[in-house]
Structure 1
Amino acid sequence: MPHPYVKRLFTDSVKKVQEEYGVRDTGQQLEDSPIAHDVFTERERTFIEMRDSFYMATVNVDGWPYVQHRGGPKGFLRVIDNKTIAFPDFRGNDQYISMGNLRSSNKISLILMDYPNRRRLKILGYCKVVTEREDLMQVAELEPEGYGYAAHRAMIITLDSFDWNCPQHIVPRYTQAEIKASFPQPDISMGNLRSSNKISLILMDYPNRRRLKILGYCKVVTEREDLMQVAELEPEGYGYAAHRAMIITLDSFDWNCPQHIVPRYTQAEIKASFPQPDISWTNLSLPTIQDVEKFEGAVMPVEVTGICKRAENISEFILSPLNDSSITPDAGSHIRIAVRSHDGQIKTNAYSLINGPEQSAAAHIAVFRETDGDGGSRFMHDVLRVGDHLYIQPPKNDFPLVENAEHTILIAGGIGITPILSMARALNAGNDSFEIHYTARTEKSMAFKQQVADIAGDSSHFYFSREEPVVRLDIEDILSDPKIGTHIYVCGPKVLIDAVIATAEVKEWPKNQIHFELFGNPLARQDSDKPIEVELRKSGKTVQVASDQSVLDALLDTGVNVGFSCKRGECGNCKVPVLEGEIDHRDIVLDTYEKKAGNVMCSCVSRVKGNRLVLDL
């Protein structure tokens, strides 16, 4: 018997979207689940009665969904029995939209949020409205003691089904009481939009007790339809890749009253109100020679001789060798730097050299500060000071320029300018023919813009996706004329690289003339990722991989020796042999034949579509 919640919401249009995005297997697993989720257990009872607010959705006779925020003291939403919940209806803005909608359909949907612990519970049910005239005592019994607001109706909801949802993208928020205690802290909507493009939003400003309600018409733009439009909406440094753009045309909006909104605060807002030094970073020590002895290959001691801000969240670091060595700034090359992560562990991060051929005395790199990253960029920005000593591995080049090209097209996105800048300097020094196309969200976020303009002159082109007037990178125009002898180099986020590769294929550019280097790691994480179990057939070991962990990291954590380099799915050094499991390939290094064969995977980014993987290790 299908899971009731899934039976209600996995309509034909929802299933079709799941198939298109390759997650139908996950949906089928939910449909086949033996757990009914049609009666509340003690777990749900405890969760429900601890809430001080929830979101409630109804639909009117014209098909418009209406989302309402309901708030009150903790416990105002009660579990009457294992099939019934109820809450008092306080007077609000006197519009009675939900009440009117329930006259035509008693179907209702709730979302209950536990922000501090990043949990949410979704409930489907049938709502009965009981007025004071109909049953005064029942209404009075639901009225919270000492709240100060009178209940005018009782909302009695009979459970149809419920579902616990994943914690991804829930920003922890805290009530004033919680702050005080700490200081002495599958996508159903996509399918629905196939049958109706009407949408309703509610935006909350919890600290200031404000809310804005919006009605509109939603258009879904996929990567296949407009890759660049999707890419431009991707938040910089967030760590998750956008797969669709949701474009909402406004129908109307309304500011709503502040009643029953319990103020909540994000960790950033709490930190601003209770400023404390970031002890975990300021106490970190610099890596020592003993720390880096375990790394393969030679290491070179360097001194930080310069730090210069180049754009929002981007700084240039100058690292000068302490011995008589010099840095060979081969265009496209990178160095690895020993850094200390937030937990105190030592690791090496790769950074592209931005040096020109005339700058061989020191290593010049630029680093984007990722607030939510794993610590390397935070260490560089927050810990390092001029005069500090570090250890680096000598330059290595996995992204070299082809010699004697007749013409070179350079394309950079965001911090992907770093290897592209060194290429531009080398091409300019050799009087070679080239052009450069550089895109960023705003001019303030574009590092080295003036240097690029000085180097390339009229052959430099700049694009801004979030600054008026919007000037978008037109890849089709740039690659409109395939020529033997012209080579293309692109570096930036995956969505930019995908667009260049896809366009080059359509325009019939020879594959050996397209060169790329990926920045960031959106491939490694997806909303639908689940924990998986990995069996190592040769050694007899079993390794558990968390939903937010790569197979490679899980193997390394358990002492399994696997080679790796980029951890971004672009070098192929972490390939492992696969015996069983349907591979979800997310790399950009394996060719079509290797992926279809299904017997090897890049363990740093790829996963398995089921929950079990068997490796020949």
Structure 2
Amino acid sequence: MMKLDLIAVRVAARRIEALDIVSLDLVPEDGNALPAFAAGAHIDVHLPGGLVRPYSLCNPPGGESCYRIAVLRDPASRGGSQAVHAHLLVGTALAISPPRNHFPLDAQAPFHLLLAGGIGITPLWAMAQALFQTGQPFELHFCTRSRARTPFLDTLASSPFAAQVQHHYDDGEPMQKLDIAATIRQAPAGTHLYVCGPQGFIDAVLQAGRDAGWPENRLHREYFGAAPVASANQGAFELQLASSGRVIPVQAHQSALAALLAAGLDIPMSCEQGVCGTCLTGVRAGTPDHRDQYLTDEERAANDRFLPCCSRALSPRLVLEL
């Protein structure tokens, strides 16, 4: 039986957007409107074989008759993108979560600078459409390996804001490649930056923003995958539930999330990489070993929450708000 918070949908359309990239239009099985969302939101897609993966919505908010996602077939994936490309054909029925948004636009920003790397265009494409609809100033820079690997190329070219979009190709002329530092330096005063794409691209953009003196509250990012975090601490530790005092051991090389699930707790989860924030759990005592890409540096320093899918403990025990 489907969980009550999931939505039954089917694939109404499927398009090849670029080399190894497919987009899917998901419509509700019951014909009712889908829940409203804001640009930057994602949904969890429940795939064949029990996999659950988050994908950003790339269509603009408003008139939610369908959700559109675009997925890159990644040979290094853990099975999610392969399942999408192989099994999600037109007519396929599946379940999705309601939209969640950890990457919203700042309505007070005087200017929005959108920097996309590869398939990281998906939330930023929704943002560009939403910003145009509301008349807010923005600029979109889209970096890809080549034209053949650039999704939405024709759609972007024919959009009413095509003049606000610049393409940058790794295999193009030097003038085509994005000068991140110069782009940030030339942005209007008070600009908010939004970046999504591979981790190396995001890290370079954020560092350029910091080097330019931009405060963290103007640097927004969304990761699609987490890189392994090197740490000497890979030993066992304990989790204590604040509500009951129950202690759950976490073995070396076992995730805290796996230990909680094995103990019978119902913990919401999605990416299992510390990217989406779905499993975020409060911490009352102890010191987490943060290994996620979701929390800000300030939130990590507070040590009052952690993501059990990837993070561990620097102290022998963590007392959780569970």
Q: Is the aligned partner of 1:574 residue 2:280?
A: yes
Residues 94-105 of structure 1: pairs in structure 2 closer than 5 A: none
Q: Residue 73 of structure 2 corresponds to which residue in structure 1?
A: 369
CA shift for structure 1 position 498: 2.2
Q: Residue 492 of structure 1 corresponds to which residue in structure 2?
A: 197
Distance (whole Å) between structure 2 residues aligned to residue 511 and residue 580 of structure 1: 26
Residues 8-19 of structure 1: pairs in structure 2 closer than 5 A: none
Distance (whole Å) between structure 2 residues aligned to residue 593 and residue 305 of structure 1: 40
**Other structure's SS at 1:616 match:** strand
Q: Residue 473 of structure 1 corresponds to which residue in structure 2?
A: 178
Q: Flag structure 2 segments of 5+ consecutive residues without an equivalent.
A: none
Residues 394 and 606 of structure 1, relative CA distance in 2, 3 Å threshold: closer
Q: Residue 145 of structure 2 corresponds to which residue in structure 1?
A: 441
Distance (whole Å) between structure 2 residues aligned to residue 418 and residue 614 of structure 1: 39
> Do the aligned partners of 2:9 and 2:94 also contact (CA within 8 Å) in 1?
yes
Residues 276-425 of structure 1: pairs in structure 2 closer than 5 A: 290=1, 292-293=2-3, 298-327=5-34, 328=36, 330-341=38-49, 346-357=50-61, 360-403=64-107, 405-425=109-129
TM-score (norm 1): 0.46
**Other structure's SS at 1:400 match:** coil
**Other structure's SS at 1:444 match:** helix
CA shift for structure 1 position 559: 3.0
Distance (whole Å) between structure 1 residues aligned to residue 10 and residue 303 of structure 2: 47
> Do the aligned partners of 2:53 and 2:270 also contact (CA within 8 Å) in 1?
no
Residues 483 and 567 of structure 1, relative CA distance in 2, 3 Å threshold: farther
Q: Flag structure 1 segments of 5+ consecutive residues without an equivalent.
A: 1-289
> Do the aligned partners of 1:569 and 1:587 also contact (CA within 8 Å) in 2?
yes
User: How many residue pairs get matched?
Assistant: 312
> Do the aligned partners of 2:224 and 2:275 also contact (CA within 8 Å) in 1?
no
Residues 596-611 of structure 1: pairs in structure 2 closer than 5 A: 601-607=306-312
Q: Residue 237 of structure 2 corresponds to which residue in structure 1?
A: 534
Residues 372 and 483 of structure 1, relative CA distance in 2, 3 Å threshold: closer
**Other structure's SS at 2:47 match:** strand
Residues 539 and 411 of structure 1, relative CA distance in 2, 3 Å threshold: same
> Do the aligned partners of 2:109 and 2:191 also contact (CA within 8 Å) in 1?
yes
Residues 406 and 412 of structure 1, relative CA distance in 2, 3 Å threshold: same
CA shift for structure 1 position 314: 1.1
Higher relative contact order (CA 8 A, sep 6+): 2
Q: Is the aligned partner of 1:552 residue 2:257?
A: yes
Q: Residue 220 of structure 2 corresponds to which residue in structure 1?
A: 515
Please list the CA deviations of residues 30-71 of structure 1 after superposition, one character each: whole Å capped at 9, or x if unmatched.
xxxxxxxxxxxxxxxxxxxxxxxxxxxxxxxxxxxxxxxxxx
**Of residues 275, 297, 301 in structure 2, which corresponds to 1:591?**
297
Residues 369 and 557 of structure 1, relative CA distance in 2, 3 Å threshold: farther
CA shift for structure 1 position 422: 0.8
CA shift for structure 1 position 477: 0.8
CA shift for structure 1 position 313: 1.8
* Structure with max Cα Rg: 1
Please list the CA deviations of residues 166-218 of structure 1 after superposition, one character each: whole Å capped at 9, or x if unmatched.
xxxxxxxxxxxxxxxxxxxxxxxxxxxxxxxxxxxxxxxxxxxxxxxxxxxxx
Distance (whole Å) between structure 1 residues aligned to residue 38 and residue 287 of structure 2: 41
> Do the aligned partners of 1:543 and 1:558 also contact (CA within 8 Å) in 2?
no
Residues 36-115 of structure 1: pairs in structure 2 closer than 5 A: none
Residues 613 and 381 of structure 1, relative CA distance in 2, 3 Å threshold: farther
CA shift for structure 1 position 350: 1.9
TM-score (norm 2): 0.82
**Other structure's SS at 1:396 match:** coil
CA shift for structure 1 position 423: 1.0
> Do the aligned partners of 1:552 and 1:574 also contact (CA within 8 Å) in 2?
no
> Do the aligned partners of 1:587 and 1:606 also contact (CA within 8 Å) in 2?
no
Distance (whole Å) between structure 1 residues aligned to residue 5 and residue 103 of structure 2: 21
Amino acid at match of 2:17: R
Residues 398 and 303 of structure 1, relative CA distance in 2, 3 Å threshold: same
More strand by share: 1
Please list the CA deviations of residues 369-413 of structure 1 after superposition, one character each: whole Å capped at 9, or x if unmatched.
233433322222111221121222232333222335432111111
> Do the aligned partners of 1:306 and 1:318 also contact (CA within 8 Å) in 2?
yes
Distance (whole Å) between structure 2 residues aligned to residue 508 and residue 581 of structure 1: 30
**Other structure's SS at 1:316 match:** strand
Q: Residue 462 of structure 1 corresponds to which residue in structure 2?
A: 167
